[in-house]
Chains A and B, each alone.
Chain A
Amino acid sequence: MMRRSLWPESGVTRRAALALGIVGLAACAPARPKGRTTLITGAASGGGNDAFGQLFAQHLGRLTGQTIQVEFETRAGGSLAASRLAKAPADGSIISMLPSKLIYEDQLATTGETSDLARLSSLGGIGADRRVLVVSARSAITSFDVLVNRATPVILAASTLSSGGYVEPLIVNHLTGAKLKPIPGYAGGARNLAVLSGEADGAVGELASLKPLLDAGGRVILRLNDIVEPASAQAPSLASLAHGPDQAALLLLISAVASLGRMFTLPPGAPPPLLAGWRSRLDQVVADPVFRAAATAQEFNLDQTAGAEVDRILHQLFDRSTPVIPALRRAMAAPRV
């Protein structure tokens, strides 16, 4: 039997095809509808930041009557999202939610490029991190004192070289004389798995993300910033153990990165009325009881840093005349254990 065409032979008139064509071509026009705002998130889909971005966009749209479209620009750990925002028009059509860990990336400029975070117009930061050092039960490390006195290095699993999980242990070494050895390359769930399997002794990270380790018998032995939770209340804070000339600058840095959490920003050069309007919208969403209930149900932390304060912190961190960047570079340049 010959192969035959299965396309319909009848029933479609030229006029119907023409009408369909006009509709189709009109739909193809890449226009940005008025009143629509795009929220670019620099977070990987599926993670906590992604879920928070979706939730925030949903309630921002509900409260302001605007259509909020969420776009993921997850590549390069959020750097591409920041770059895209830096080139966007400051007219309110595009805002972004960036992870504060980009601050480490920018300060170290490990890849030779920076996101110029200090140039962006900040709306505010939501969700302060509880940065902690967790060790597994198998590591036999019961306290930070035991860790400092251990003869062999303490191996910590980390994701990338510019992640808090890698940078902060080196800062801890610099400030306390500990022998932490962060190993990068453990992306996503592989970090916790490495600790559970005994390959790594522990990890530095946000308390909630390390919960599987605590459930498996791990313990918090150091708080890197000053936010206290029941699970970390018994652990000493880094501020109480740190010493040396870089102490103040590096504690400020860790605390700032942790407190900024998810940074909401407009492109650089946003006019003051536009900036004020968007800051007010951010405040409106965070104060909204419906949003707060939904966010709390998903265990999102809603600690807020005001936009002007975020701007001040970023300028302080990136001001070359302050000791922050040189102190961080000294910590990173210290001989590895």
Chain B
Amino acid sequence: MDLALGALASLMASPAALAALLLGTLAGLLAGLTPGVNGRAGLLLVTPIALGFGPSAGAVFLIAFHSVVHTSGSIPAILLGAPTSASEAATAIDGYAMARRGEAARAVGATLTASAFGGLVGALFLFLALPAALMIITHVGTPEITALSLLGLLSIAALSGGWLTGGLMAAALGVLIASVGVDPFSATPRLTFGVQDLWDGVNAAALVTGLFVVPELAAREPETQVATPPLAGYSQVLKGCLEVVEHRWLMLRSSLIGVAVGVIPGLGASAAVWIAYGHARQTHPSAVPYGEGAIAGVIAPEAANNSKEGGSLVPTLFLGIPGSSGMGILLAAFATLGVEVGPRMLAKTPEFVFQLGWTNIASNLLAVPLCLVMAPAMARFAMLRRSEVVPVALAAALAATALTQAAPATLFQLVVFSGLGLLFKAANLPRAPLLLGFVLGPGLESGLIRSDMIYGWSALIRPGVLVILGLSATIVAASSWTRLRAGSRTREPGAPLSLPAVALTGVLSASAIWVATTLPATAAGILYLSGGVGVITAAACAVRFWRERESASTPAAPDGAILMLLLGAVAITGLVSLPLGVGAFVCSALVIRGGVSYRKAILIALLTTCAVLGLQTLQR
């Protein structure tokens, strides 16, 4: 206790550390708001600044930066509907729906509070549960991580819009997409079509943008009239901030999910967010249906997203073992600063450990007022005409995707996944389970194979596995009981394009099974599994849609002009340069679809182009 208080006192007494805390928090919030600058890229960008602070204050700067980068990261996803990572996509589902209903400020308020709460839970875990955390880390093996992946996959039912078969089919396709790349157990290229760019798998940003951003923003939607008085921003943001109290237990459970996933490396950074979102849908009733603007659908993923950072700091700081690539960069930055981390850090400089814990808490607390100052201004984005926002948002999504990997293959994937996303949306098929399959598939495959190689069947009787599987069974039972009590649920109606979408999934699944017959056993297993589930569920979906074809609703066609302009922007990006592609797209789309004057369109296009150029320069 004395050590902890002493660390707080020394943090407060050091002007350099306080300046590092403030600047790190500001830089983190700014990086989160900037498309294409996620936690990892942001850390790389600010490491030189941290060097200027020296070892101690530099470490404070980096921890402050990393603690809050996710706090503001979901705000563009809510306001523009343009998530650029799998984590943000979960928040965007209900957050963007709230923004379209004129509740952007409320969503932003809830996001800020949930993020700060999650961050605090993560920081407290770093403080209080250290001995237990180290014990957990050193007793969790591959079978437990695999069982956790299975637990995460239970969320498929919750994410399927009331229709499990469609969700299972989408999840199978997600696992199939995740299996693209070189199989680590046989070194066999799998579904790479001879393209070396695909050896490390598909580009996650291209998948998220194609699956969610393009279909949502290219949808033809009427310009709804939302009455939001100019001064309503603050009151709505505060309302959102306070509303999370009603969902406090969900927020706590989601934060604990985030901590658990963060402290145990191997599940992937996005898994925490999706498991928490699925958990909310399974266990937390909402007056507004999930997917249509349920505030709980914003609170749960945001709390988990920030709390996982505190959890993932435990193995990084105390064992010197990074649980994710972001933590790897943080570790490298610490090494550059000359800060020693690992088991000896606790013995040699315990006060410094507590100082970093306080930094984590302080930056999360500091982020809330800083964001509150900006929130009403940001929420005014939602007041803009949709036809003016869509070109800029799509351009930001294109830039963020292309900046992850400047290669023609990235742009090609963006086009392919956009086509898939448009088809699934037109078919009323759930897209969230596809992303869940993509996020959890690799861990599940690797875990199953390694568990078999090391433990065999005895993996199933390990205490940790039994506890997690028991928990899974309890959740399934509780969820089924809740559904039974609630009576029959509405499910998504069929649509004329359902059959092509189902046929495509069926053909892809069958092709995967055929490819699997030519591969070694370790590479083939996941293809047989996902392909088999895909074929069976596609057949079931086809039967259902055929039976209901008379009552199928006809969805609105997407905006063809915007899509063609976007395709042109992708072509220009590939053939000439990204800034030119983005600028040309924004200018033409604003004139053609936004009804904006040429002069304003050119100005906005130039500003967008300059922003992209700035990001490219920073990246270098």
Chain A residues at the B interface, C-beta cutoff of 8 Å: 1-8, 12, 14, 17, 20-21, 24-25, 27-30, 44-48, 50-51, 69-71, 75-76, 79-80, 83, 108, 110-113, 155, 159-162, 183-190, 192-194, 196-200, 211-212, 215-216, 297-299
Contact = CB atoms under 8 A, between A and B. Distances in A.
A6 B196 CA distance: 46
Contacts of B248: none
Contact of A196 (B138, B385, B449): B138
A194 B229 CA distance: 57
A190 B327 CA distance: 12
Contact of A111 (B40, B187, B265, B600): B187
B540 interface: no
A172 B80 CA distance: 56
A45 B140 CA distance: 27
Interface in B537-583: 576-577, 579-580, 583
Interface string B157-200: 00000000000000000000000001011111100000011011
Contact of A47 (B320, B332, B450): B332
B239 interface: no
A58 B99 CA distance: 46
B186 A190 contact: no
Nearest to B382: A3
A7 B577 contact: no
Contacts of A108: 187
Given A17-B606, A75-B197, A212-B319, 5 more contacts: A76-B199, A185-B185, A186-B450, A188-B322, A216-B319
Nearest to B223: A3
22 contacts: A5-B384, A5-B388, A6-B380, A20-B603, A28-B576, A28-B579, A46-B40, A46-B331, A75-B196, A79-B196, A110-B187, A111-B188, A160-B187, A183-B453, A188-B325, A189-B327, A189-B328, A190-B266, A197-B139, A198-B141, A211-B320, A215-B320
Contacts of A159: 184
Interface stretch (B147-155, B336-344, B433-441): B336-344
Contacts of B229: 1
B378 interface: no
B199 A79 contact: yes
B336 A51 contact: yes
B319 A194 contact: no
Nearest to B229: A1
B319 A45 contact: no
Given A183-B450, A215-B342, A197 B141 contact: yes
Contacts, number: 190
B223 A298 contact: no
Contact of A199 (B142, B227, B599): B142
Interface string B210-251: 000000000000010111110000000000000000000000
Contacts of A27: 579, 609-610, 613
B489 interface: no
How big is the B interface, by class? Answer: 35 or more
Given A20-B606, A30-B576, A193-B315, A5 B142 contact: no
A6 B332 CA distance: 43
Contacts of B315: 189, 193
B393 to A, nearest CB: 15
Contact of A24 (B316, B576, B609): B609
Q: Which of A110, A113, A194, A197 has the largest count of B CB atoms less than 10 A from its CB?
A: A197
A51 B329 CA distance: 10
Given A1-B228, A17-B603, A6 B384 contact: yes
Interface of B: 40, 43-44, 137-142, 182, 184-189, 196-197, 199-200, 223, 225-229, 265-266, 315-316, 319-323, 325, 327-332, 335-336, 338, 342-344, 380, 383-385, 388, 405, 446, 449-450, 453-454, 576-577, 579-580, 583, 596, 599-600, 602-604, 606, 609-610, 613, 620
Nearest to B337: A298
A162 B457 CA distance: 28
Nearest to A113: B196
Contacts of A297: 338
A196 B184 CA distance: 22
B332 A75 contact: no
Contact of A46 (B328, B383, B453, B603): B328
A14 B332 CA distance: 49
A80 B405 CA distance: 13
Contact of A216 (B325, B343, B583): B343
A3 B199 contact: no
A287 to B, nearest CB: 22
A45 B323 CA distance: 15
A185 B444 CA distance: 12
B546 to A, nearest CB: 42
A7 B388 contact: yes
Closest 8 CB pairs of A and B: A110-B187, A46-B329, A189-B321, A46-B328, A76-B199, A28-B580, A161-B187, A199-B141
B199 A2 contact: no
Contacts of B328: 44, 46-47, 188-189
A44 B327 CA distance: 13
Given A45-B44, A199-B454, A194 B329 contact: no
Contacts of B609: 24, 27-28
Contacts of B603: 8, 12, 17, 20
Given A211-B342, A215-B343, A193 B449 contact: no
A80 B385 contact: no
Contacts of B580: 25, 28
A198 B138 contact: yes
B66 to A, nearest CB: 12
A189 B226 CA distance: 50
Contacts of A79: 196, 199
Contacts of B225: 1-3
Most A-side CB within 10 Å, residue of B141, B228, B332, B336: B332
B604 A212 contact: no
B450 A185 contact: yes
B265 A76 contact: no
